[in-house]
Chains A and B, each alone.
Chain A
């Protein structure tokens, strides 16, 4: 009660914006640190600030093993994002659009992977592959990544399907479009924003995954695995370069879509 009251009186004094600013600064601090240290002229360990240099950025692949790991990560994330997005979108459409007997059971089954800690899923899959006589490697890793991305894709796309007016598809059928034309000309373009954000989320989850990958990738190195192993001895500044560039790229994409969306909305309001 006392906490609540002080929270509210604090609110009145306008400290909420200040608090929010501090919270955001807290969230961003290690990101800044990571970016700043990508410009550090470091020796083996990139832990103490030495001097400013662009060398790490111009020689990203100075550590060939790091670049290979990043390449693997990109491949794994791309493939698993494609598969998870396709499977998950189909599931989401079925779950929102159709009434069938086991609907709530399917919903629950799709929630379960999200309620399963990575370590359990990772160990379970690794055990399965081990028992099946399949060694860990690239394919098992992709399979595992699709599995943990799937539920997140379903949740994201489902939210979008729910906002889709069924009358739009019916209008398409009424206007001489056959079922596949209705899907590609109406349903899919309207779902696209949801599908894209699901894919983006899926890619981010997959690219950054460590635990499940660690259990299933065997000798295939990935970016997170590289950092985990290097953490013992010292992470090279090139890792910071790669993380920073991925980060900046993603932020630019997100900001660009948001700003263009903002102005589009503004324009729409204006014309009306």
Chain B
């Protein structure tokens, strides 16, 4: 079945794409390259330009400037119906006046592909909806409609499949289940998927590569683990998971590392994990990489140590506990501790020191909003 549908995907390139709406720039000099066969996720908050990007790739919107290439071919001026691209719309956009089977066969019939009904039926079988072909879209549940929309796009074997928050309208449980199915289908058919979402968990779960978008630009792109391990901007560090960020002037710099001073504590980062090595920089650490101590520990230069501070909030989330610690002159620091029974039992108001390994620090390219360059 998959053999019927699978076709080698093509790669997509956006070069210097810009989109201006009256009085508003939705996309700002965007460059993007998606290798063939990848599951690529475009992740960003609502309004950052994700849908606009997809619409430009699909040809439903004309870029103000820049080129769009698919499989190396410039398609910027090609009309939507002449592009080897199909879309799964956010609202599914199933044609209400046609049966499910006719919906799925629509693209095949337009292109006069042979035996459209059998192929449409095969696509419906692939999404496990072979039995609903004669029904109307209004008669299906949200999850079923979503899968029909997927089948209707997949059946055309596009070089590139665009998915605009395809799971956004589903409830949490169904969404997680569909994530697994979608990923399995992508592996089966081997097409290039460009998946748009504002759900970071969804993006991290499914994608080979994630691009984090903010205000019409791509802030950072990479494998999910790499993005999480080494965010390069304040926005990425906060949007993908949580981060503790510290801003200060570089006071120490050697061949391997740089350090800043914040409220009397020295915070160090490996040079190869830092984007900037001089002036005022921001250094961050993930909450689960930090630990706290009830008495001041003795640690080597391979650790960062801050404190003492006071625990001002404790949350039990099941797997882990989240501690919020207020350190004078430094600010609030979040620490996650696994709930394995070994972690120190502390109470609200306890005095603690916080530490982490220098290799877990990351240095940012920019400063978080609301902080000033101290240079």
Residues of A within 8 A of B (CB): 165, 167-168, 170-178, 181, 185-186, 189-190, 268, 271-272
Residues of chain B lying within 8 A (CB to CB) of residue A170: 58, 60, 80, 87, 89, 93
B139 touches A177 (CB 8 A): no
Question: Is B33 engaged at the interface, CB distance under 8 Å to the other chain?
Answer: no
B136 touches A174 (CB 8 A): no
Q: Taking A181-B110, A271-B135 as contacts, is the C-beta distance between A173 and B93 under 8 angstroms?
A: no
Residues of B within 8 A of A (CB): 58-60, 79-82, 85-87, 89-91, 93-97, 106-107, 110-111, 135-136, 138-139, 141, 152-153, 156
**CA of A99 to CA of B106 in the docked complex: distance in angstroms?**
30
B80 interface neighbour in A173, A190, A272, Cβ under 8 Å? A173
Residues of chain A lying within 8 A (CB to CB) of residue B85: 174
B136 interface neighbour in A176, A178, A268, Cβ under 8 Å? A268
**CA of A172 to CA of B87 in the docked complex: distance in angstroms?**
10
B81 touches A176 (CB 8 A): yes
CB distance from B127 to the nearest CB of A (A): 17
A175 touches B152 (CB 8 A): yes
**CA of A175 to CA of B86 in the docked complex: distance in angstroms?**
7
CB distance from B112 to the nearest CB of A (A): 10
Q: Identify the 6 closest CB pairs spanning chains A and B, nearest first.
A: A175-B107, A176-B110, A171-B93, A167-B93, A173-B80, A176-B81
**CA of A42 to CA of B346 in the docked complex: distance in angstroms?**
105
CB distance from B15 to the nearest CB of A (A): 22
Can you give 20 A-B contacts (C-beta < 8 A)? A168-B93, A168-B96, A170-B87, A172-B106, A173-B59, A173-B81, A174-B80, A174-B86, A174-B87, A175-B107, A175-B110, A175-B152, A176-B110, A177-B110, A178-B79, A178-B81, A181-B110, A185-B106, A186-B95, A189-B97
**CA of A168 to CA of B97 in the docked complex: distance in angstroms?**
11
Q: Taking A176-B81, A178-B81, A272-B139 as contacts, is the C-beta distance between A171 and B95 under 8 angstroms?
A: yes
**CA of A172 to CA of B91 in the docked complex: distance in angstroms?**
14
B135 touches A167 (CB 8 A): no
**CA of A170 to CA of B85 in the docked complex: distance in angstroms?**
13
A173 touches B60 (CB 8 A): yes
B93 touches A271 (CB 8 A): no
A168 interface neighbour in B95, B141, B152, Cβ under 8 Å? B95
Residues of chain B lying within 8 A (CB to CB) of residue A175: 81, 86, 106-107, 110, 152, 156
CB distance from B45 to the nearest CB of A (A): 22
Sample of 17 further A-B pairs with CB below 8 A, known A174-B85, A176-B107, A190-B97:
A165-B91, A165-B93, A168-B95, A168-B96, A171-B87, A171-B94, A172-B106, A173-B60, A173-B80, A174-B81, A174-B153, A175-B81, A176-B81, A177-B110, A268-B138, A272-B139, A272-B141
